[in-house]
Amino acid sequence: MNNLNYTKEGVGSNVLFLHGWGADKESFRCVSDRLKSDCCVVRIDFPGFGQSPPPPYEGWGVENYADNLAAFMRNLKLERASVVAHSFGGRVAIVLCAKYPELVGKLVLADSGGMRRYSLKRSWRVFKYKTAKRLVGMGLKNPDCLKKYGSTDFLASGKGMRNTFKKVVEQDLTSFAKKIMCPTLIVWGDGDCETPMWMAKRLKRLISGSGLVVLENAGHFSFADRPKEFTAAVRYFLEEV
């Protein structure tokens, strides 16, 4: 599936923007518009988001998205592109860099997902959800009861994307992050509650030579909360590092 919806603007070195879960290619416009005078910026809709067709009903994992993106980049001749990725897009970018290092020149991870650690609270919530789902299947509970166990992103996903969501969030990408060799900048909002700061610090430890920039008064969408500061950090990284 390489028929991704995308826009390509500007002239110069290629910069590919990867959006987060539930978003689309327009989410990064506040940054790409500031860079397109110096770069060729490409923004895509991942399969299942924006105007791109969805993956198969059984769902895709992160590697499926990375494989699909690699084929898209080759078709568009985006080898050695700089990749700027947010949240779910960061998950895909981590696997892309590990599996296809020849395609990525530099990497910017903004409030990225992909790191996991054991949580008793989360494990208990998952257990209750699976139990309720089993009871629904037996006709002993109303399907509406499942809503109180699902995350906001899960509930907002159409039924066709929920299998994909489960596969994506259940995968820990530590082994892939360790394999990243390209120059990497990690940018995080100091108030990010979706992907907490410990994830940024772990990524910095895992990715050799990576740098970390923390934006004050910014949340999970740090690039949208502080677009000027985010763009300045990315521009310096792309031009000077």
Residues 6 or more apart whose Cβ sits within 8 Å of residue 209 = 183, 184
pLDDT of residue 134: 64
Low-confidence residues in the chain, pLDDT < 70: 1-2, 118-159, 241
Q: Rounded to an integer, what distance in angstroms lies between the CA atom of residue 94 and that of residue 104?
A: 10
Residue 134 vs residues 6, 146, 149: alpha-carbon distances, Å: 40, 10, 13
Identify the residue whose tokens are 């066709």: 160
What is the four-CA torsion angle of 71, 73, 74, 78, rounded to 10 degrees? -170
Cα separation, 107 vs 90, whole angstroms: 9
**Alpha-carbon distance 15 to 13, whole Å?**
7
Tokens of 66: 């990375």
Residue 226, C-beta contacts closer than 8 angstroms, at least 6 positions apart: 189, 215, 216, 217, 218
Angle at which helices 62-75 and 159-169 cross, to 10°: 100
Q: What are phi and psi of 49, to 5 degrees?
A: -135, 155
> 58, 163 in Cβ contact below 8 A?
yes
Q: Tell me the pTM.
A: 0.85
Among 30, 24, 70, 29, residue whose Cα is nearest residue 44: 24
Can you tell me which residue has the tokens 């990225």? 112
Of residues 19, 168, 18, 184, the one with CA closest to residue 98: 184
Residue 97 is given by DSSP the state: H
User: Tokens 């994909």 map to which residue?
Assistant: 164
Span 7-62, pLDDT tens digits: 999 999 999 999 999 999 999 999 999 999 999 999 999 999 999 999 998 999 99
Report pLDDT for 124: 43
* Amino acid, single-letter form, for residue 216: E
Q: Tell me the angle at which helices 62-75 and 88-99 cross, rounded to the nearest 10 degrees.
A: 70
Helices (H) and strands (E) in the chain, counts: 10, 7
Per-residue pLDDT at 173: 97
